[in-house]
Structures are given as C-alpha cells and as structure tokens.
Chain A
Amino acid sequence: MRKNLNVIAAYSIMMGLIILVGIFQSWNIALSIFNLCLISAVMTMGANIQWGYAGLINFGIMGFTALGGLAAVLISVDPVQEAWSAGGFNIILSLFLIIAMVLAVRYILKNYKKSKNRTYIVAAIIILGIVIIRFISEPGIEAIEGVNPAKTGFLGGLGLPIIFSWVVGAFFAGGLAFVIGKVALGLRADYLAIATLLISEIVIAIIKHEDWLTRGVKNVIGLKRPAPYEVNLQQTDWFISLVEKFNSSKLNLITDLTERQATLNQLVIEGSSVFVKLCYSGLFLIVVVILLILTQKALYSPWGRMMRAIRDNEEAANAMGKNVVKQHLLIFVLGSAIVGIAGAMLVTQDGLFTPGSYRPLRYTFLIWVMVIIGGSGNNFGAILGGFVVWFLWIEAAPIGLYLVNLTTAGLDDTHFLKVHLIESVPYFRFLMMGVGLLVIMRYRPKGILPEKIEIK
C-alpha cells in the first residue's frame, strides 16, 4: 500500500480536478473531458508499450489513430448497394491484382538471388501493376463517387454494430504496423521517428483523397452509436422518473406545477446528455481496465523482462539468444494495435469521421507529451499522463484567460495589448504543453510516476 501511495495520490488529485470541473463548469464538460482522457489513456498505453517497454520511437501515432477511425466507418456504415453495383467489381478486381502483385514480387524476391536483373524485374512488375490497376480501378472509382455524391459517393461499410470496429481497428493498425515494422525497424532511433512521422502523413493523404473508400474530406457523419440517443432517452418513462428521483429535493422546493414540469424537462435534457456520456465512459473504462491488466501482466512477465533487457542493452540481449528483430516487430505491432483501438473509440464517441482533422500536433506529438510527462515505462504513469495533459489541453484556455486578466488588470479593457492577449488565449495551451514537457524532461526525466522495477 505504502509504495503505491504516490500513484493513489496522483490519481485522486486528477479525479478531484475533474469533479471540480463538474461542480464549477458543468457535468457535461467534466464527462467529455473524462471520456477523452480515457481515449488518450489508451493511446498513451500503446505508445508506452513501444517507447517505455522497448525503446522504439513511433511518431506515426496519427496514422494508426486514423486507421482505427476508418475501421469504425467501414464496420458500422450501411453498405451502399448502388455504389457496389456501379463499381464494386472493378474495386474487387483491383484488390485481387494488388494481392497478386505483392505475391509475385515476394515470390521473385524469395526464389532468385540478388542481381540487377531481379531488381529490374521487380520494378517492372510494380510499374506494370500500378498502370493496370489504375486502368481498371479508375472507371470503378468514378462510378462509385458519382453515386449520390452529396450523401454517399462511397462504398459504405458492413452495417455491423460499431463496437466491433474497436477490434477491427486494432487489426487494421496492427497490419499497417507490421508492414512499416518490416521495412523501417532497422533504422536508428531518430530516423525511425522521422520515417514513421512521414509514413503516417502518407496514410492520412490516402484516407483524405480516396473518396470511394472514406468519403475523404467530405466526412462521414451520423455513425451508429453503442449508446442510446438523447432524443429517445428524453421520451422514455424510466429515464424521466430516474431524473425526478435524483433531483427530488430540488424539485420539491418548486410548488407551481407548470414551473415544476418546465424545470423537470430542462433537467431531463441535461440529464440525457450526461447519461449518454456516462454510457461511453463505462465502455471506455472497461477497455482501459482490460488493457491495463494485460499490459501490467505483460510488464511483469518474463516477456516484459526480456523487452526491458532489449531496451537497455540490445547487444547483450542478442547475445543471450533473444531475437531482437522479431521482438521489436511484435511490440511495434502490439502498441500500434492499441492505438488503433483508441482511434476507433474516438470516432465512436464523436459519431463522425473527419479525415481533415488528423494533424500530427494533436495526434502524435501531444500523445508523446502525455507519455513523457506521465512516466514512460510505467503504465499507471502513461495513463496519468493522458489524463493530466488532456485536462490541461482543454482547461488551458480558461486558465490562460484568468492569467491574462490577472496580469493585465491594471490596463484598460480596450487597451490593444489586453485585447490581443485575450484573443490569443487558445494558443496558451501550446505554451503550457511545451513548458510542461521541457520542465519534466529537465527536472524529472522519468515522468510524474517513474518506472519502478522490482527485483524479487
């Protein structure tokens, strides 16, 4: 108990802060912060597995997040029959051709010795394949994008419950990570960082511009929900009576019947959105707890010890007969898969998929700030980092406004400096993150909750 005191203290403070937001701002805001904190926590766990356990830098978190989001679209949206009949055949044919091309290249690479001729043949297959695929897919893509472009214009998905996409998102992200890991994991640390950063930009470019698959920048809105809709809730009897029960003391003070009804309606509307957010919180909490248990088990298993050995001294681990390359690939895939889950969760919560909103600052660098501030190598630390940083990210604007008002209290309200500062309050969050990161890196390089290795 005693040795975990700092963990408990840190988490209680964090919860207290969120509850304070609930009391002073509104429970709606508090819960939406809490939900995004949970999603961030899943992302940080993914990044922490890669960085904290194995020392791999993955600056491609944005790409894996977006792939998870894509999974949510492809699983939950109803299929667009017209589009399938218009261009489905061409797309499927192209898909088979891509697979055939990859297999052919693999076959040649495997069965022939390295030579100039082999390189030329592989290049020829790839170029020829791309030309043929473009030739076949182009009419299909045009036909699909032509089907009711204002509403659909894409193939749609499978029409399954969106919850499934959390698993599928993990597989998507893991699959991409496998490919990236195969080609890029041999690079030195900072090159891996740059390579993954750029690859994630390529992923985003594809998601943004392949309209037949993702609707691109036209966005997909109105995704299915695993939680009830507010409008439906407001009309169900049990929910209204529940709200009545919760607020009975407040309602009993009002004697006038019509006024009482009006207050109740207001409370029901507020209550419904809080209730929906609570449903999400419950779902997300389950994911976080399951992942936490699994990652903790992994960390203290022989496998976790091996990963730390590889992280701390690659050569020595290699000499002890551990397959460093294979383990790196494995952990890269696992971590990315977890990020993919988070991406699907994020889209599920928003109910919309907006490829244009994936930017490296928010989805890659901010996650890294979370991991470093929270404490890399320690799952509780990483999760705490997700909470603290997201909380500050959202609350930076109000805090910044307060600070600006405090420091410029002597100035006139119309003074240009004050007006300018108040206008730029949203950017104080960048300042806060940057200074936070620098201070932590300098004075507490292992994060708020540092990694603890117990040797028994």
Chain B
Amino acid sequence: MDFVNAIILLLNYIFVPALAYGSQLALGAIFVTLIYGILRFANFATGDMMSFGTMFVILFTFYFQSVGISFGVLPTALLAIPFGIIFMVGYMLIVDKLVFKYYRINKSPPVQLAMVSIGVMFVTQAVVRIIIGPSDRRFFDGEKFLIKAGEFKEMTGLNEGLAIKSTQVITIIVTLILVSTLFWFLNKTKTGKSMRAYSDNEDLALLSGIDPKKIVMITWVIAGILATIGGALYGLDKSFKPFTYFNNMLPIFAAAIVGGIGNPFGAFLGGYVIAFSEILLTYAYRKFFMYVLPESMEPDGLIQLLSTDYKFAVSFSILVIVLLYRPSGIFKGKVL
C-alpha cells in the first residue's frame, strides 16, 4: 500500500505537472525550431509573440463571457483560440512584411535577423502592455478539476490524493492533437515536404520549383497557430502576465536547442526533457522516501537536490552541457 501511495505522490507532484508544463514548452520550442529551420534566425521575440496571441484569446474570452457564450464544462478560451489565431497570424505576416522580409531578401547573416527580432520583441512587448496592461490576468472558467484529491482518496482509500486539473488534461490532449497533425502535415503532404526541403537546402529547393514566398507564409501561419495555442494553454494552466511570457522564452530556447534546433520532433521531446528535469531535480523527496523506506530509515532532511529557486537554472545548465558536448542537440538538429 505504501508503495502505491509513493507512486501516486510522484504522479501528483511530478509526472502530471511536468507533462503539462512540458507540453506548453514543446509547443513554444516547435515554434522556435520552425522559425530557425526555415527562416534561419533565432527569434528572440518568441515569448512576446506568444503573449500577443494569448492577449487576443483573453480579449475574445472576455467578450464571449460578457455576451453569455460559454463552452459548458470546458473553458470558454478554447472557443476564443481560433479568433486569437487569426489576429496572431495577421500580426506575424505584417511584421514579416515590414521587418523580416527585407533582411531575408538581402540574405543578411542570421545574427542581424536575431538583432532585428529584438526590435520586434520591444515593439510587441509595448503593444501587449498598452492594450492589456502588465498585470496578472486569469481567464479560466468551467470545471476546474477532473479528479479532486479528496474524491480520489475516498475512491481508492489511499493516503495520497491525486488531483488532475482539467487544464492539464486539456493541455496534454490539445498538444498531442496539434503536434501529430503538424508531423502528419510535414511528413505526408506536399507542402510540408517542400517546407522540409527548403529547410534542408534552400538552393536545391528553389531549383526544384518550390515557391519561397509560399513556404515563408505557411511557416508564419503554423508558427502563429503554435504560439497562440501554446500561450493560451500556459495562461489557462497558470495565469497570463506579459513578463512571465517574456521569461518563458528562456526554457523554450533551452528545449529547442536540447532537442536539436531545426528538428521539430527534437523540439517536441526537448520540451519534456526540460520540464521533467526542472521538476525532478527541485522536488523534495522526503515524503516519497517516508513511504518507500522502513520507518527506522526515514530521512530527516527534505532530500531535495536543488532548491526550487534554481528551477530555471537547472534547464539552462542542461542546455549549456548539451551545447558543449553535443552541439547539434540530443536528436541531431542542424550541425553548428
């Protein structure tokens, strides 16, 4: 029985939250990786673009709530996401036309594009803060828990409860659907294949008659979908604050590089690698050992490898180690 309790404990505090957080990171990481693979620059505006999309999702959610539209037990925000995506994609295409296109046509070095993306970051940040303000916003409604800790305890008669938030389940399901659609698109459709060809070798792709304008546009559309959904899911699960979104850029970058930048599948797994290592290394295992070990051997301390303050530092350290020993990432992205 104690052993089952220990497993439930780990599921409740490590596995489920890490899976949800990892999914959110994975969406962002695929966004970074697509931009890097096809448009060939590190997009420092990632976090702010995500907050831009989320902002529109929130505004539409508030609008729907005010006119009385709801999605039953599911959060209204899910209805608002498509509208958010439309605005997001529109914004991205405008930014691309006004800013990035010039450098792409001139074949500027990637560093210059990265610098330009910092300009876009500043502008996006300003726009988000001017429209919705810098404060913390919650826009979740509907049923909060799928399984409540108390109910679970009653049901199974265990000491440990397992609480599963509906946002966590939504996050994981939406991510799986989205990512599998994306991989199907990239691997099976003609457009997807031409995108990968363009990413692998631009000149060859152009020679075989692939239209670069179309590829770039589709990339931005997919990026917009990923950014909006990733941002909205993160906001639903936690809360929306422009500053946190900016900071999330860092673990997202870490996930993309750990997985091998330019490789969407690597980025997808990288998100989970980062999320799990962050939570595994900063969790206090005391209770776990209390269940597993006999009473005489119970630990005194918290049995915590690193204090939770170093959560971000963990993922960055992993990234640095990966960069040093396997610069192309775990799953072989572009060789640096």
A residues near B (Cβ < 8 Å) are 57, 183-184, 187-191, 193-195, 197-199, 201-202, 205-206, 208-209, 361, 365, 368-369, 372, 421, 423-424, 427-431, 433-435, 437-438, 441-442, 445
Question: Which residues of chain A have C-beta atoms less than 8 A from B121's C-beta?
Answer: 365, 434
Tell me the smallest distance from the CB of A428 to a CB of chain B, in Å: 7
Given contacts A191-B257, A368-B115, A427-B134, whether A184 and B309 have CB atoms under 8 Å apart is: no
Q: Say if the beta carbon of B114 comes within 8 Å of chain A.
A: yes
Given A187-B336, A198-B320, A434-B121, 12 new contacts (CB under 8 A)? A191-B257, A191-B323, A194-B42, A194-B319, A202-B313, A427-B134, A430-B122, A431-B126, A434-B122, A434-B123, A434-B125, A442-B99
Contact of B327 (CB < 8 Å), options: A187, A189, A421? A187
| Closest Cβ–Cβ distance, residue A114 to chain B (whole Å) | 12
- The answer to whether B118 touches A369 (Cβ under 8 A) is yes
Sample of 16 A–B contacts (CB below 8 Å): A184-B323, A184-B324, A187-B323, A188-B336, A189-B109, A191-B336, A195-B319, A197-B250, A369-B118, A372-B115, A427-B130, A429-B126, A430-B125, A431-B123, A437-B115, A441-B112
The answer to whether B27 has its CB under 8 Å from any CB of chain A is no
For window 102-139 of chain B, which residues contact chain A by CB distance below 8 Å? 102, 109-112, 114-116, 118-127, 129-130, 133-134
Within 8 A of A (CB), among B289-336: 307, 309-310, 312-313, 316-317, 319-320, 323-324, 327, 336
The interface residues of chain B, by DSSP majority, are classed as: helix
Contact call B123/A430, Cβ cutoff below 8 A:
yes
The CA of A57 and the CA of B44, in the complex, are separated in Å by: 14
Q: Which residues of B contact A194 (CB under 8 A)?
A: 42, 253, 257, 319
Q: In whole Å, how far is B336's beta carbon from the nearest beta carbon of chain A?
A: 5
CB within 8 Å for A430 and B118 given contacts A183-B320, A199-B320: no
Tell me how far the C-beta of B272 lies from the nearest C-beta in chain A, rounded to whole angstroms: 19
Q: Is B254 an interface residue (CB 8 A)?
A: yes
Q: How far is the CA of A445 from the CA of B133 in the complex (A)?
A: 32
Scoring B118, B124, B312 by chain A CB atoms within 10 A of each residue's CB, the highest score goes to B118
Name the interface residues of B229-246: CB closer than 8 Å to any CB of A: 246
Closest to B315 in A: A198
Question: How many of B's residues come within 8 Å of A, CB to CB?
Answer: 44
Number of A-B contacts (CB under 8 A): 123
Q: Is the CB of A208 within 8 A of B309?
A: yes
The chain A residue with its CB closest to the CB of B42 is A190
Q: A198-B254, A199-B320, A430-B125 are in contact. Are A438 and B119 (CB under 8 A)?
A: yes
Chain A residues whose C-beta falls within 8 Å of the C-beta of B283 in the assembled complex: none
**Is B276 among interface residues, defined by CB-CB distance under 8 A?**
no
B118 touches A437 (CB 8 A): yes
* Contacting residues, chain B, for A424 (C-beta < 8 A): 129-130, 133
Known contacts: A209-B309, A438-B123. The answer to whether A365 contacts B41 by CB under 8 A is: no
Once the chains are docked, how many angstroms separate the CA of A437 from the CA of B117? 10
**Across-interface contacts of A208 in B (CB, < 8 A):** 309
Which among B44, B114, B126, B324 is the interface contact of A428 at CB below 8 angstroms? Answer: B126
8 A Cβ contacts from B30-65 to A: 41-42, 44
CA distance A428 to B130 in the complex (A): 8
The smallest C-beta distance from B334 to any residue of chain A, in angstroms, reads 10
In this complex, what residue of A is CB-closest to B307? A209
Q: Which of B250, B317, B320 contacts A184 (CB 8 A)?
A: B320
Q: Which residues of A contact B316 (CB under 8 A)?
A: 198-199, 201-202
Q: Which of B115, B127, B317 contacts A441 (CB 8 A)?
A: B115
**Closest partner residue, chain B, to A441 (CB atom):** B116
